[in-house]
Structure 1
Amino acid sequence: MDTNFVTTPFGRRAMTRAMLTGQSKARDVNPAHSVDKWKLYRALCEARGRLGISDRTLALLNALLSFYPKTEISSETGLVVFPSNQQLSLRANGMAEQTIRRHLALLVNAGLIARKDSANGKRYSRRHRDGEIREAFGFSLAPLLARSSEIEAMAQDVIADRLRLQNVRESITICRRDIAKLIAMAEIENAPGEWPAHYQTFRDIIDSIPRNADIDLITTALQKLRALRVLIINTLDTWKDSRILGGNPSQNERHIQISESESSLDSEPETVTEIAENVRSDSSSSRTPNGTIPLSLVLSACPAIADYAPCGDIRDWRDLSAAANVVGRMFGISPSAYQAACSTMGAISTAVAVSCILERSEHIQSPGGYLRHLTRQSEAGSFSAAQMLMGLMKTREQAIAELIRN
């Protein structure tokens, strides 16, 4: 039987502890045990990281397994394969002979195969008169068979770890979105709280996660993000409850007036020409953009901003401001720069400006620097959100006209 041997390697190759261990495990194979070689190979592919073998080493093992005549590896049908390096090269997609030797040594050191060298180092078999193999020299798959249960369990652990990692990454993505949008909403609504500090904590946690982080590091980051989200939600709940308790009829009346103003936007000018006329006829910088620009036109000129809305849809100016705040953070615009823009231009003008910046982001190297430039223009009285939007639409119309001419 092929498992009952201890053999040393031919030639100058020294005997190693890995060879002795592999042969020792081979002797422990249960004669009645068998395993599907391709099912075991798939398990090896999953567990290759823990076994310390590469894809190239697995490719060579695949070639070795293809020389085993049966689908089921069993000691009853023999466990030694004896292909030449030339035959292995043909089935390993032309792998060089020197590379074959190196990966064979890696398979032996990993305890997946064992050498059974002949007296002259050749690989061959001796057969009985009836054609059955009496003795074979080459590479024994006995260690692979002996470790089949271990390898399958290892593969299951790797798959389970990968699923856990995927679940944790998905949870981090959701938690990141929640924190970013809650902070953006809190700043727009002027809710009391340490929002710049919370945002800095949020960025510190995210930036501490390396690209190839392990499950433990990502789980720790998720726990920190969840704790921060709970802190933010508790702060907002306290603020919300205080607003409900401190409400009065005049506040409620004001909310109704805002709602009515937003619902009447359809009657406002909707063409570039009409906007230009309104801009020329009203040079006062104190006039709010929603007095000259319909929200529907902003969304038509800047459709990308809707992807960042709190509910995936922009229904009013407040939704536009929330989406613009999220885009500002995505561009790396500092909270102080964004707040300065809102203080100078107004929250709605800033939202329109950021929406235009998003549409032309591929042409703007520094969105934060550009917003600061617009803020300085607004301080000088030379900035108009309506004119910026009109310029964006004219540029788009010119591009379309040029495309049609060509």
Structure 2
Amino acid sequence: MLRKTLGASFIVIVLLGITFLFLPDYSQNAFLHLTANIDDYEIFENRTVAASNPQPWAISPGYNQYEMGQAYQEILESYETTAFLIVKDTAIFYEKYFLGYDEEAISNSFSAAKSIVSLLIGIAIDEGKIKSVFEPVSEYLESFKEGDKSEVTIKDVLTMSSGIDWNEAYMSPFSKTTEAYYGHNLKKLVDELKMDGEPAQEFAYKSINTQILAEILEAATGQSVSDYATNRLWRKIGAEHDALWSLDRAGGMEKAFCCFNSTARDFARIGQLVLNNGEWNGEQVVPAEYIQVATQAAKLFSSEKEIPYYGYQWWILNYEGKQIPYARGILGQYVFVLKDKNAVVVRLGKSRSKLYTDNHPDDVYEYVEAAYELLK
């Protein structure tokens, strides 16, 4: 009996192995790694976003003098928080790290990278590399020149209302999103895109929109997204550490929809730049007008609809009457801009709530509430 059982198990293992070999490489990677995590830069090729003008944060006189309540601490622990940081009046006011991470540990941004790409689009417009958000994508990408895709504008892509066909499924090893994350040819994915609706009609969150923006940046500037970010953003906001932007392959394209890897302190600079309306130490890094539009409810031109919770790749939280723009990643990577407190809040970690209220994960409200309690 035991011999028969072992024989059957061996056959199953052989069949599974054969099946695995015939899977696409991105599906094989998905099965090997099972789930995405904040240290995935270690399994990808990366391009450096160099820091060459470090400007360390000042430390607030009230640094870590206040502690959040037990209930908030339990929430941080329950979602496997790795960093919780508050910058108030351009100085670090509160800072805690967990699970072996510290102020020098880098973490995957996941979709919070989308908000960084949006800022780069604003910079490229200011430099005249891109004329405006109303330009058609076809001005930059050959694959958009014919058919229904020719009607898609940069604004449609920025506001997740492009009408492009895309399967935004994170758990399936066979989805297009999985192929984008674990695959090796992002430009081919963009070239092969089809439409499943009209642009500027409906909000539909699809990561490929940000990848399109990255290709536009590359075409408009003649630089890789990482090099452009280095020269036009990262060095100008005084980042203390080099960041890593993960690529689809060696020498390839940035996974712009995700995978910007940095420290909590340097992620806070992105929030501070938005808080400053695009200005840093007297230099206008991103146009103030662009920041204002990017972080307010988007209006879809064709349908005249408003998206109250989304701008140009920035989420917008209505919290007790306050409009709080924030960057957001799938495992709870958040950068909140609290304008009324002149503060920025960064939360990094390994999970987030699966429940949503008004299109925001429920833990978002907990972190913002905790920050306001500390800032009283």
Q: Give the TM-score, by structure 1 length.
A: 0.27
Which of the two has greater strand per residue? Answer: 2
Higher relative contact order (CA 8 A, sep 6+): 2
Taking structure 2 as the reference length, the TM-score comes to 0.29
Larger Rg computed on CA atoms: 1
Query: More helix per residue: 1 or 2?
Result: 1
